[in-house]
A and B are shown apart, each in its own frame.
Chain A
Amino acid sequence: MKVVFERPKTLLEKPFTYCPGCHHGLAQRLIAEVIDELGIADRTIGVGPIGCSVYIYEFIDVDFVVGAHGRAPAIATGIKRALPDRVVFSYQGDGDIAAIGTAEIIHVANRGELITAFFVNNAVFGMTGGQMAPTTLVGQKTKTTPLGRKPEVHGFPFRLGECLSVAEGSAYIARVALTRPQFIRQAKECIRRAFLTQIEKKGFSLVEILSPCPTNWGMSPKEAVDWLEQHMIPYFPLGELKVKECLPHEAL
């Protein structure tokens, strides 16, 4: 009998511990599948952040380093500069990458650091219990915006992907969602292209993955998927935001 579907080798046999309806498990499975298909598990090093994303090192079977809040891009830089022939990726949530670690991710992108960042955007701080994130939508209620986010008080939702795409050193920036089978297929292709961008030394690459947080949004998993499609995708449009084919240093 032909096997048509199985667990990726790089995904450890441990049940995911994420809340029901969270897409971290899906995202990490896709990353594991791409690592398998590219055959790079033995030379890949992941960098974990703080927040729900930190658990990735318990599920993906590659070497890992976990650092403090927001600093994963700097840690990834240190690893990549020490071991330039390894594949290095960070995996960060929106609080980590778009608030406390904004400086690090902007400069990693601008230097054209040959790393890949996965940015899981659920428009809220997850692990700390549902406070406002930089990506929280206007009007969205969180623990620290109980009346909904007001731009005149809290500022505007931050489009990190668009911001990084203007950096000269970034080579591949894409935004994906995992709410439908065709989105999942597109997401996997973007993850593959992001890794290849690094392997081919074109520059910095980032894939932003929109993900529901039913627990902190106070919704059922199904409601959360609908809310993501109705509210998040219009503000954070899906697609490839930047695709650069040449080496970063040849652009100027």
Chain B
Amino acid sequence: MEKKILMRGNEAVAEAAVRAGCRLYFGYPITPQNEISEYLSFRLPQVGGVFLQAESEVAAIHMVYGAAATGARVMTSSSGPGISLMQEGLSCIAAAELPCVVVNMSRGGPGVGNIQPAQSDYFQAVKGGGHGDYRLIVLAPSTVQELVDLTYRAFYLADKYRNPVEILGDGMLGQMMEPVVFREPEFPPLPPKDWAVRGKGDGPRKWIVCLDLDPKGLEELNLRLQKKYRKLEEEDVDYATFGNPEPEVLLVGFGTVGRILRSVVREGEKRGLKLALFRPITLFPFPKRALQEWARKARAVLVVEMNLGQMLEDVELAVQGEVPVFFLGHTGGVIPTVEEILEYVCRLLRKGVRV
């Protein structure tokens, strides 16, 4: 039997990164994700890797850019305000089509906000964040085990698509301790990194740039990126469902909210309610087709988020008005409770949601 270890989320993601082959980490301290840096500061040297504390998040993400350009597996992590500072670099990494992994253990915003868990960075993660027509691949774990499993997958997807991948957690997931198993998954083989800049040796030189002064050239890059995003939608969309396959109300939530909604479904069942959870695991690409199919079975969709309705917009686009979509959200680090959500669901059903 595989060994189960009790680990904090932040440390689990760090260990999973090392096991996934990450050998360089550049970061700048910010709560509530400092355990990632602290763990990697001793763990990476043990495997011949590099841990470097940068002078800022701006520098950290550009160190990631440099290391990624050499073909190495490289990671950084931060939280809300720090991720904002990284947007310039992320836009460049996306434009240069380099693979890297960024962990955002998000906290309350806007501004410096607070250090409580929140999901108010959804727009930033999913819609681009920095300037230009680009997207990150965004993965949203809801347990410490999933944090581990999705870290492996993040490095795989980054290499497969030559695109930055963001793991969007929150302060609660980063700080909670749960038993985890490190199962190194087998992924299909990846293409060789023949684009990497490593000194030209005897061959022709290579260059990696994030600018193209020729409008046609830049349009070509943008169209190529869009093609990549469409391929992602076809091949690497992921979501989880739980509960009644014929639900009256379909609950939709990601990450930490996803685990709260599991409890809502279970509690609801005890009270005779027919509920199901739809939890997007890839926030970009968003599992819109699957969500639409599930929504059609229900009388109503209820989106719950730790923000004021950011994923809600993607859910509404997926559902396309076929079923009424409701929203319950808290922000600033306030966490919705099972009781509160159940009460909301009961109120919806009492009102008769299809009127």
Q: Which residues of A contact B206 (CB under 8 A)?
A: 63-64
- Whether A79 sits at the interface, judged by CB under 8 Å, is yes
Contact B199 A78 (CB under 8 A): no
Spot the interface stretch: A66-74, A116-124, A136-144, A167-175.
A66-74
Mask, A5-42, CB within 8 Å of B = 1, is 00000000000000000000000000000000000011
A side interface size, CB within 8 A = 34
Q: A78-B65, A78-B68, A81-B63 are in contact. Are A63 and B56 (CB under 8 A)?
A: no
Contact B197 A71 (CB under 8 A): no
Main secondary structure on chain B at its contact with chain A?
Answer: mixed
Contact B69 A71 (CB under 8 A): no
Which of these, A41, A43, A54, A75, contacts B66 with CB under 8 Å? A75
- Whether A132 sits at the interface, judged by CB under 8 Å, is no
Contact A68 B199 (CB under 8 A): no
Q: Which residues of B contact A103 (CB under 8 A)?
A: 55-56, 58-59
- Whether A194 sits at the interface, judged by CB under 8 Å, is no
In angstroms, how far is the closest chain B Cβ from the Cβ of A65? 5
Contact B92 A67 (CB under 8 A): yes
Contact A63 B62 (CB under 8 A): no
- For B66, the closest partner residue in chain A by CB is A78
How many Å lie between the Cα of A91 and that of B245 in the bound state? 61
How many Å lie between the Cα of A77 and that of B68 in the bound state? 12
Which of these, A57, A71, A86, contacts B199 with CB under 8 Å? A86
- For B64, the closest partner residue in chain A by CB is A78
Which of these, A42, A75, A79, A104, contacts B200 with CB under 8 Å? A42
Q: Which residues of B contact A44 (CB under 8 A)?
A: 199
- Whether B286 sits at the interface, judged by CB under 8 Å, is no
- Whether B54 sits at the interface, judged by CB under 8 Å, is yes
How many Å lie between the Cα of A215 and that of B62 in the bound state? 32
Q: A63-B205, A65-B197, A103-B55 are in contact. Are A77 and B66 (CB under 8 A)?
A: yes
Q: A78-B26, A78-B63 are in contact. Are A66 and B210 (CB under 8 A)?
A: yes
Which of these, B50, B58, B208, contacts A66 with CB under 8 Å? B208
Q: Which of B17-39 contact A (CB under 8 A)?
A: 23-24, 26
Mask, A197-219, CB within 8 Å of B = 1, is 00000000000000000000000
- Whether A50 sits at the interface, judged by CB under 8 Å, is yes
Q: A42-B202, A64-B205, A65-B69 are in contact. Are A79 and B62 (CB under 8 A)?
A: no
Q: Which residues of A contact B68 (CB under 8 A)?
A: 78
Q: Which of B26-85 contact A (CB under 8 A)?
A: 26, 50, 52, 54-56, 58-60, 62-70, 72, 74
Which of these, A42, A43, A78, A82, contacts B62 with CB under 8 Å? A78
- Whether B88 sits at the interface, judged by CB under 8 Å, is yes
How many Å lie between the Cα of A57 and that of B206 in the bound state? 10
Q: Which residues of A contact B52 (CB under 8 A)?
A: 77, 81
Contact A81 B207 (CB under 8 A): no
- Whether B164 sits at the interface, judged by CB under 8 Å, is no
Contact B66 A76 (CB under 8 A): yes
- Whether A192 sits at the interface, judged by CB under 8 Å, is no
How many Å lie between the Cα of A115 and that of B208 in the bound state? 19
Number of A-B contacts (CB under 8 A): 132
Contact A67 B198 (CB under 8 A): no
| Of B66, B70, B96, B205, most A-chain CB atoms within 10 Å | B66
Contact B65 A75 (CB under 8 A): yes
- For A12, the closest partner residue in chain B by CB is B205
How many Å lie between the Cα of A48 and that of B205 in the bound state? 15
| Of A48, A64, A81, most B-chain CB atoms within 10 Å | A81
In angstroms, how far is the closest chain B Cβ from the Cβ of A169? 13
Q: Which residues of B contact A76 (CB under 8 A)?
A: 66
Q: Which residues of A contact B92 (CB under 8 A)?
A: 67-68
How many Å lie between the Cα of A75 and that of B61 in the bound state? 9
Mask, A80-122, CB within 8 Å of B = 1, is 1111001100000000000000011001000000000000000
Q: Which residues of A contact B58 (CB under 8 A)?
A: 71, 74, 103-104
In angstroms, how far is the closest chain A Cβ from the Cβ of B312? 33
Q: A42-B201, A79-B66, A79-B197 are in contact. Are A74 and B54 (CB under 8 A)?
A: yes
Contact A43 B199 (CB under 8 A): yes
How many Å lie between the Cα of A75 and that of B59 in the bound state? 8
- For A81, the closest partner residue in chain B by CB is B50
Q: Which residues of B contact A57 (CB under 8 A)?
A: 207, 209
| Of A61, A68, A104, most B-chain CB atoms within 10 Å | A68
In angstroms, how far is the closest chain B Cβ from the Cβ of A200? 18
In angstroms, how far is the closest chain A Cβ from the Cβ of B346? 52
- Whether A133 sits at the interface, judged by CB under 8 Å, is no
Contact A54 B24 (CB under 8 A): no
Contact A75 B62 (CB under 8 A): yes
16 inter-chain pairs at a CB distance below 8 angstroms, sorted by A residue, are A43-B199, A57-B209, A61-B205, A62-B205, A64-B205, A65-B65, A65-B66, A65-B197, A67-B65, A68-B62, A71-B88, A77-B59, A78-B70, A78-B74, A82-B23, A82-B67
User: B interface vs A, CB < 8 Å?
Assistant: 23-24, 26, 50, 52, 54-56, 58-60, 62-70, 72, 74, 88-89, 92, 96, 197-202, 205-211
Ranked 8 nearest A-B pairs via Cβ: A78-B66, A74-B62, A78-B63, A78-B67, A75-B66, A64-B207, A71-B62, A66-B209
